[in-house]
Chains A and B, each alone.
Chain A
Amino acid sequence: MTKILDITSNESKVKKMVKELVPKGNLDLCLTCATCASGCPATGIMDMDPRKFIRMAVLGLDEDILKHPWTWICTMCKRCMEVCPMEINIPLFIYQLRTQWPREERPKGILGSCDHHVSSRGGAMGVPLEDFQFTVDDLAEECREQNGFQALKADIDREGAFFALNQNSREPVTEPDELLPLWKILHMAGADWTYYSDMWGGENYCMFLADDDAWEKIIRAQVKKIDELGCKVFINTECGHSFFAVWQGLQKFNIPHNFEFKSIIEYYAKWIKEGKLPVNSDWNTDNIKFTVQDPCNIIRKSLGDKMADDLRYVIKKVVGDDNLVEMYPNKSNNFCCGGGGGALQAGYTEPRQIYGKIKYDQIKATKAPYVITPCHNCHAQIEDLAHIHEGGYYTVHLWTLICLSMGVLGEEERTYLGPDLAEYGL
């Protein structure tokens, strides 16, 4: 037993701050029932769990809690709050704690990504707009050479386009060929779309950094630009946190806007239902099994099980009804993979990987060789988990499979497929 803590004169400033600033943030309401701890993948990491974190604040151990790195281990996945009998807003409590770290002491990876985004007015990787423009033009050119896509359009800031699309900067910068499947899908569905130029990167590490000002700045710039272009729908690519950053940012900062904000997955489902995307599962003659990761940000934290059902509708159409193997638990009760909340950039690699073990075990239990991850952070984390545990499964975007199913997936667009599908349909 460590030394006796004297709590008599503790002032509990953290508790007061959270109560004032966080909706449903009265930590004193905690029943210490352990619902949160029993459902949290970060329980036990650094000998900490959400219940202990709340307790430290309740008992006024402010110094300990303000310095505790578990603040960056928690991914704010909200699995705790969903079931907390007192509905204590644990994710925002963590967020509030992140705000209390001196900015320069916050994890460098997250900090750098945020700063790059704001200073470049592009994305987290600091790529200048010209480079992005060049990549888009170049790839579009290339794509138009492929059979059936001669008329494909990919552009930036085209006024009057129906859809504005956001783009994570990872693809244009590190794997440009991955841009093409989504463009092909949009083209085949007859979507009238454009990228927008200001703060064009979909990712938002300023949110993870808990830098409200920067987060707001990014969203406001995007909104302004999209409204200037006159787009009717702002469509979010296959990425969880970028969706949540906009979805939550519009509400949190009360930003007026003239467009509707949607996830691309909703449109995949809509277009398939309308017959605009001729997907089918006939190609999967070997009945290759797929499982799916439900990204917290677009399911539990925002659109709920309806979104999860849309996701399953698309997948079943693409791989066959019987070839989707569920992880348990799933949908709104799914476990965070451990890649959320900025964890991939936070620098706590080992804890992040321990966090992800539960996800890895879930995946392995399905015995499926493919994990569909319609989210960039999930994708990166789940791939990393396969790598460190020698998992032997493949982590794929949904766009890859949709194009595969429609027979339009190009040779260079197969990075994430296994050898069984590497040649398929070429």
Chain B
Amino acid sequence: MSSKETIGSVMIVGGGIGGIQSALDLANSGYYVYMVEKSPSIGGKMAQLDKTFPTNDCSMCIMSPKLVELGRHINIELLTLSEITEVNGEPGNFEVTVFEKARYVDMEKCIACGACTEKCPKKVEDVYNEKLVKRKAIYALYPQAVPLKYSIDPANCIKLTKDKCGNCEKECPADAILFDDTDKTHDLNVGSIILAPGFKAHDPSGNPYYAYDNNPDVVTSLEFERLLSASGPNQGHLIRPSDHKEPDKVAWFQCVGSRDINNCNNSHCSAVCCMYAIKQAIIAKEHDPSLECTIFYMDMRTHGKGFENCYNEAKDKYGIKFVRCRVHSVFSEGEKGTVIDYFDEAKGVVVRDNYDIIVLSVGIEIDAETRDLTKKLEIELTDGNFVKTDTFNPVSTSRKGIYVCGALQGPKDIPQTVIEAGAAALVSGSALSSTRNTLTKKMLIPEEIDIRGDRPRIGVFVCHCGINISSVIDVAAVRDFAKDLPFVEYVEDNLYSCSQDTQELISTQIREKGLNRIVVAACTPRTHDPLFQETLVEASLNKYLFEMVNIRNHGSWVHKDFPAEATQKSKDLVRMAVAKVAQLEPLKEEVLEIHQDALVIGGGISGITSAKALSEQGYKVTLLEKSENLGGNANLIHKTANGQDVALHLDQMKDSVYEDNNIEILTGAELKNVDGFVGNFTSTIDTNGNKKSIQHGVTIIATGALEYKPNEYLYGEDDRILTGLELDQKFKENAPFLAESKVAVFIQCVGSRNNERPFCSRICCSHSVLSALSLKEKNPGMKIFVLYRDIRTYGEKENLYKEAREKGIVFIRYGINDKPVVKKEKDILSVVVTDHVLQRKLNIQTDLITLASAIAPNNNDKLGKFFKIPVNDEGFFAEAHVKLAPSDFATDGVFLCGLAHYPKPIDESIAQAQAAASSATRLLSRKTINTIGTTAKVNSSYCSSCGSCIEICPYNAPDFITEGNFEGLSEINPLLCKGCGACAASCRSGAIYLRGFEEFQIMEMIENV
């Protein structure tokens, strides 16, 4: 161990969604964060996206609150236009040299008015818009950018290159232009480093076969994303680039720059392209329902939560055509539109077709700059140039103290990136836990202005939401309408009300105009209330003097074909909100201490990981396991995708929790009851008949799932027919018949992707391929056949699939309507399957059949009720947000990881267990929590002691007073009350009211309908 002092700060390289999530997790759990971003603003690739799969949420809408939170976080220091040049020192105390390029704009002075850009004569390719349009040499990266500060592109600025022009300096009202700005170097000391620089999209230029260089109607998927986007070059109006005609037919080519070692050197699968192509096709269809969309693909890889459902909807509901063919080439260059030939597998002939636009679904690569950085940091990479990690430490690089998350760790989507970001925050912070809160500053909350008795002065802000709202609703008309409503002092419309500059605007107007009530007409308060409320708090206003009107979900989205009516409805909604907000009073929140212990439910690999992660930070954990042994499904698994022995690592993990004094392990245990809420849970646990009650502030759900037991393919009728896990057991036992088998058959999707379980079980393709390779190792002469529907060896697992083919394992695709048939005649097992290429029935006599059986969820209903956490249609727990909160629940203080969330392999389970622990840490380290102000209250003089409220409350908040003057009457504990209003609605005496939703406030709204 070194004598050097441990530093309580972390440096994060890269300001995309991964870096942002890590930064917020760390800064909110007591560490100071430096975020180093090479471009002028953060946001990364996600900021370029129009919508996100599978829910088609507006990307900017869901990301913006995080951008704003990060931008104004007191414990995050943002270094833009910056890169790491050198790292010395050791884990716990690194000396990092950061090179910061000159911005030529004084960030302190710039007010982001845009006057400079308007007068700048120099046009430059707009990288944010994938060079589809031009921007100016002085620019802000995008309208909602954080920090929203302009910068000068020195390579193109006329003043900086030729000492002419200087328009921006003349125009800038804030005197912010700094032509003599210089590059700077910062030497910073940090305890840990997280690499989150993201990916580069594959560049198809130079490849003559896709005609990308000379046909403007051939675009990359990222370009198409910008074409679809409201903030893109055509304001979201989809056009054919060559002539701006509205397209009739669009095609997507999958695997451009992926799964290809000829046209590029990317043997990996990029893991996201199938889903984003489906998403883009659906959105394009929504733009124009008559549009014909075709996706040409090899294997449709919809292996994530909700993905298969989205794929099925794309086919069945949207009529998107899926053609299984990798198209040879695109031609008709120099003309408009494109021509392609594709192979019709069913007919065995080539079909020629024309498309207005061809979208190349380009894959994920790591750029040369990032490779140089990893080389400089002496970090090991895989053959595909991703950072090498091991299954059991999925976010640790080969260099101690340096961690990784997101695409640099391997190709992945946003939820998986967010999970890894949480994991990286957890492990990087955990290594520094002795220094928690040593470098952080405390947020000073400005004193609240007492507005009681003041005349209401209302500000109304109406949002365009890009074009999400303004493409249907006349935003200006709504704004002007609001101007004339009673007590309204100020109105404004904003491109994005949630962006940082709008927050500054609201804040300024509160101060300057003395506003004391705010209405925002935009999207849903479910995601955006906290953002605006914080803005009020920063402007010294009580956060409950705020109303949100949802003119997007309730307006432009549901009434998109009736713009006039939607505009009228928006006006009505705004009038109601203004009427109500005028009646609102400041409310008070209670401060509660958070119990510092944790309960982890489920002792599988995820639960063990979470428990250990929390214990390592000094928290006491109860680890509850219903069986007699820890380890769960991992006890049954032979090897991981990168060849690591599971039993060996699992034993080490078990030992580490058994030896841990901070962890109490309860096996044979069952949860009997749960009381309380975030910060203060009381759970009753039955351990083999002994009941006990424990207190805990947080709960992690890691209850896992089960391997489905098949009822087809003669399963159970012959001991040569096994499930995937049963085969693993044979490997673990080193059963001799494995090597003796001459022929082995794997059947994929047994119990998955059918009516009963429509989801993809995600791990079975990789697992079968791995097992097939293990069989080949035992007996290289064995003939092995894998019967599949789509091979889904996503990410770098594609290399396993390639290796399997190289070694002669034969893959035969079957259709859902022509499933393989397993037969047993006189002890001879055989499988009949139709070969997808020859379209002929094949018979395979075999010694071993492995059924790649589905992962079936446990019955989660009881647990769901205990913690008020939802279960989705498929039986898995439903997280707070599929994209940005995959390990959290909408219920505070309860977190999720492992198979209980969705099928996933060990490395992903461990990452999510760490992410759940990170979320729990974020909460625990706050020590206190505020209750909500909108709680119910009993007017004792009306209470008839009927007890209805006590009976109906899901949170046990009401109770009878047991002594004193009001004995026998009802009282509501504001600490327990969640403000649901059930009691107020059910009180037959009208004795209960809900603060913020009181009768006179509601009546005022109704009168204004």
Contacts and interface: CB of A to CB of B under 8 A. Distances in A.
Interface of A: 1-8, 15, 26, 28-40, 43-44, 47, 49, 51-52, 55-56, 58-59, 79, 82-87, 305, 326, 328-333
Contacts of A85: 255, 259-263, 326
Given A85-B255, A328-B339, 10 more contacts: A8-B843, A29-B802, A29-B805, A30-B805, A35-B327, A35-B328, A39-B328, A59-B842, A83-B209, A328-B331
Nearest to A9: B845
A32 B328 contact: no
A4 B837 contact: no
Contacts of A8: 743, 783, 830, 843-846
Contacts of A33: 255, 298, 325-326
A38 B327 contact: yes
13 contacts: A5-B841, A28-B809, A29-B805, A31-B805, A34-B326, A34-B343, A43-B343, A49-B348, A82-B209, A83-B262, A87-B262, A328-B335, A333-B331
Contact of B837 (A15, A55, A86): A55
Nearest to A88: B262
Contacts of A52: 348, 837-838
A5 B840 contact: yes
B513 interface: no
B775 to A, nearest CB: 16
Given A4-B843, A43-B343, A59-B810, A332 B805 contact: no
A275 B968 CA distance: 114
Given A44-B350, A84-B262, A85-B262, A329 B331 contact: yes
A223 B990 CA distance: 109
Given A37-B350, A38-B350, A86-B261, A49 B843 contact: no
Interface of B: 208-209, 255, 259-263, 298, 324-329, 331-335, 339, 341-343, 345, 348-350, 743, 783, 802, 805-811, 813, 830, 832, 835-838, 840-846
A59 B838 contact: yes
Contacts of A35: 325-328
Contacts of B327: 35, 38
A56 B838 contact: yes
A1 B743 CA distance: 25
Given A39-B328, A328-B332, A34 B345 contact: yes
Given A8-B783, A85-B259, A329-B329, A38 B343 contact: yes
A84 B841 CA distance: 26
Contacts of A329: 329, 331
A3 B830 CA distance: 16
A86 B806 CA distance: 11
Nearest to A58: B810
A6 B845 contact: yes
Contacts of A3: 841
A417 to B, nearest CB: 28
Contacts, number: 137
A58 B345 CA distance: 18
Nearest to B785: A7
Contacts of A332: 208
A4 B260 contact: no
A277 B930 CA distance: 90
A324 to B, nearest CB: 13
B329 A333 contact: yes
A310 B832 CA distance: 55
Contact of B806 (A1, A15, A29, A87): A29
Contacts of B809: 28
Contacts of B841: 1, 3-5
Contacts of B333: 328
Contacts of A31: 259, 298, 326, 805
A330 B208 CA distance: 10
A38 B209 CA distance: 13
Interface centre among A49, A55, A79, A329 (most CB of B within 10 A): A329
Given A29-B806, A34-B345, A329-B329, A4 B844 contact: no
Contacts of B262: 82-87
Contacts of A6: 842-845
Given A28-B806, A83-B328, A333-B331, A4 B832 contact: yes
B266 to A, nearest CB: 10
Contacts of A38: 325-328, 341-343, 350
Contacts of B846: 8
Contacts of A40: 350
A247 B657 CA distance: 69
Nearest to B350: A43
B556 to A, nearest CB: 41
A7 B263 contact: no
A39 B806 CA distance: 24
Contact of A5 (B259, B329, B805, B842): B842
Contact of A87 (B261, B331, B334, B783): B261
A183 B836 CA distance: 55
Contacts of B339: 328
Contact of B835 (A55, A79, A330): A55
A32 B341 contact: no
Given A4-B841, A38-B327, A333 B808 contact: no
Given A6-B843, A328-B331, A329-B329, A83 B263 contact: yes
Contacts of A30: 805
Nearest to A35: B326
A38 B326 CA distance: 8
A239 B899 CA distance: 65
A145 B765 CA distance: 78
A185 to B, nearest CB: 31
Residue from B260, B298, B343, B783 with most neighbouring chain A CB atoms (10 Å): B343
Given A39-B329, A82-B209, A328-B331, A34 B743 contact: no
B49 to A, nearest CB: 27
A305 B208 contact: yes
Contacts of B259: 31, 85
A35 B811 CA distance: 17
Contacts of A51: 343, 837
A84 B807 CA distance: 19
Nearest to A6: B843
Contacts of B255: 33, 85
Given A87-B261, A333-B209, A79 B813 contact: no
Contacts of A49: 343, 348
B926 to A, nearest CB: 51
Contacts of B342: 34, 38
Given A8-B783, A52-B838, A44 B261 contact: no
A173 B260 CA distance: 48
A44 B349 contact: yes
B325 A2 contact: no
A333 B214 CA distance: 14
Contacts of A36: 328
A2 B802 CA distance: 31
Contacts of B835: 55, 59
A35 B261 CA distance: 14
Contact of B843 (A7, A84, A86): A7
Task: Give the one of A31, A58, A79 with max B CB within 10 A.
Answer: A31
> Max chain A CB contacts within 10 Å: which of B208, B328, B332?
B328
B843 A5 contact: yes
A37 B837 CA distance: 11
Which 8 interchain pairs have the tightest Cβ spacing?
Answer: A39-B328, A329-B331, A87-B262, A33-B326, A38-B343, A85-B260, A55-B837, A34-B343
Contact of A32 (B329, B813, B845): B813
Contacts of A7: 842-844
A333 B208 contact: yes
B325 A34 contact: yes
Nearest to A8: B845
A1 B843 CA distance: 14
B210 to A, nearest CB: 9
Contacts of B298: 31, 33
A43 B843 CA distance: 26
